[in-house]
Amino acid sequence: MSEASVGGTREDELRGEPSEETDDLDALSFDEAPSFDESDPVDEVAFDEAWMDDPSTPCRGCGGAIRERYYDVDAATVCEACVQVLRHGPPGSSPFGRAARAFALGGLAAMASGLVWWGIRAATGYEIGLIAIAVGLAVGFAVRIGSGQMGGFFYQGMAMTLTYLAIVSTYVPDIMDELRHLPSEETPSEETSLRSGPSVAHAQPMEAGPQSRPSEGSVGQAEGDALWTPIVFVIACFISLFAPFLMGFENIIGLALIAFALWEAWKVNKRPYKQISGPFALGGAPEG
């Protein structure tokens, strides 16, 4: 670089006219820090304040925010409203109303599933294990729906009882048929007819005269059957309660199927929780 050019540059600087070389040097200046707008997010960071999340805790039951106190239900954080539903049922429901609905729905399911069980057994002659599962599940879920999903020993016992009645009711038609065919004391057997001698065997039939009334005998027999049928039904229902056990080891498979159906009804109506503890203050010890 010549002295003239250097001198010219200095003269330009003294006159306030920047040269091209001066512009290049200013572009490479590291003495000035970059400036930021007021809207820059860096200005919004306050390092003297701690960042905190929402102090509330979500409820595992309803998903709502818990801000003051909570309950521990099988290691799950649950709000007070959900705990009240678990303990006392849905709002507006009464224990008697829930029990009545559970019994009504469970009874309908028991009758329907019992008819299906009997129909399949009558058609095939076999007791199918899947039907036992279906009976237990149908009655169990019906009781659970009627109880508002409360569960517990009371509803488990109700479901098991209705399931057992649904199964043993399938034996009632067979027991009634056996009772109707029992020998009657008034009807002489074939052996008695043979022992009665020729006077009975070769007895001449009586001529039907104007005073004979065979229709009255048939009417009386029909009335007797009509009176006997309800009695037979009651007796058959009573015997059916013990029928699975009266068959002994021949019905061991049937007993196993009944036990499995009862287990399904019991399992469906288990209480939805094991233990409730609390209330706890959020972030503190249990309240008194």
Q: How far apart are the first and last CA of the chain?
A: 92
Burial call 209-239: b when 16+ CB within 10 Å, e when fewer: eeeeeeeeeeeeeeeeeeeeeeebeeebbeb
Is 0.85 topped by the overall pTM? no
| Nearest CA among 72, 52, 55, 61 for reference residue 285 | 72
| Nearest CA among 114, 107, 116 for reference residue 167 | 114
User: What are the strands of the beta sheet with 76-78, ordered from one edge?
Assistant: 76-78, 69-73, 276-281
Average confidence (pLDDT) per 10 residues, the chain, 288 residues = 49 52 49 50 45 62 76 77 77 83 95 88 76 90 90 92 91 83 53 43 46 50 60 85 81 85 92 74 58
State the pLDDT at residue 196. Answer: 46
Q: pLDDT tens for residues 30-74? A: 455 445 455 545 444 444 444 444 556 778 777 777 777 777 787
- State how far the Cα of 254 lies from the Cα of 127, in Å rounded to an integer: 7
State the pLDDT at residue 49. Answer: 45
* Strand spans (E) along the chain: 57-58, 65-66, 69-73, 76-78, 276-281
Residues 66/57, Cβ–Cβ less than 8 Å: yes
Q: Under DSSP, is residue 177 helix (H, G, I), strand (E, B) or coil?
A: helix
Output Rg (C-alpha) for the chain, integer angstroms.
46
